[in-house]
Amino acid sequence: MLVGMTFEQERTLILVKPDGVERGLTGEVVRRIEAKGYRLVAVEMRTAPRDLLELHYAEHAGKSFFEPLVEFMASGPVVAIVAQGDRVIEGFRSLAGATDPTKAAPGTIRGDLGRAWPTAVTQNIVHGSDSPESAEREIGIWFPLLGE
């Protein structure tokens, strides 16, 4: 019993991207989420339609990597996860590591499992919301029926 401590039961949206699913890394990603003490609130495998992905990545619209990113994300099933826990948004970003698997620290999902070549930055195994606002928006996109 942890007396006197308060916990923010925050939620985040995590995706195991098509490369992670294809390589059989879904279980390893889920293992790391649960080992850290976060709870799974929702898990669903699906091949996302382009319009959903364009909405999800709206902040990157117009950037050079946007089209290849959407194309890649639509290329096969992803596993969408809502995880909950104390500061889980920041915590999962730490578990995931830097965007570029080459630069991601050992011990992180991308650092340990991300391939530096030939897939480079786009195919980096996981997505995790980067702020409370993004988390709320992204959970609404992927799990519109999920209540508070």
Site for ligand UDP contains 65 (CB under 6 A): yes
- Binding segment (CB under 6 A) for ligand UDP, from list 5-13, 33-41, 117-125, 135-143: 117-125
Site for ligand UDP contains 141 (CB under 6 A): no
- Give how far Cα 68 sits from Cα of 13, 22, 26, 46, 94, Å: 22, 18, 22, 19, 25
Extract the tokens encoding 102: 């080459």
CB of residue 65 vs ligand UDP: minimum separation in angstroms?
Answer: 4
- Binding segment (CB under 6 A) for ligand UDP, from list 27-35, 75-83, 118-126, 134-142: 118-126
- Intra-chain end-to-end CA distance of the chain, in Å: 25
Residues assigned a catalytic role? 127
Binding residue per annotation — 63?
no
Q: Treating both helix axes as pointing N-terminal to C-terminal, what angle do 26-35 and 88-96 enclose, rounded to 10 degrees?
A: 130
Q: Which is nearer to ligand UDP, 17 or 143 (CB)?
A: 17
Site for ligand UDP contains 41 (CB under 6 A): no
Binding residue per annotation — 17?
yes
Site for ligand UDP contains 56 (CB under 6 A): no
Calpha distance 90→128 (Å, rounded): 9
φ, ψ of residue 140 in degrees (nearest 5): -65, -35
Q: Which is nearer to ligand UDP, 9 or 99 (CB)?
A: 99
List, in order, residues 6 or more apart from 8 with CB less than 8 Å away.
Answer: 86, 87
Q: Which residues bind ligand UDP (CB under 6 A)?
A: 65, 69, 99, 121-122, 124, 127, 130
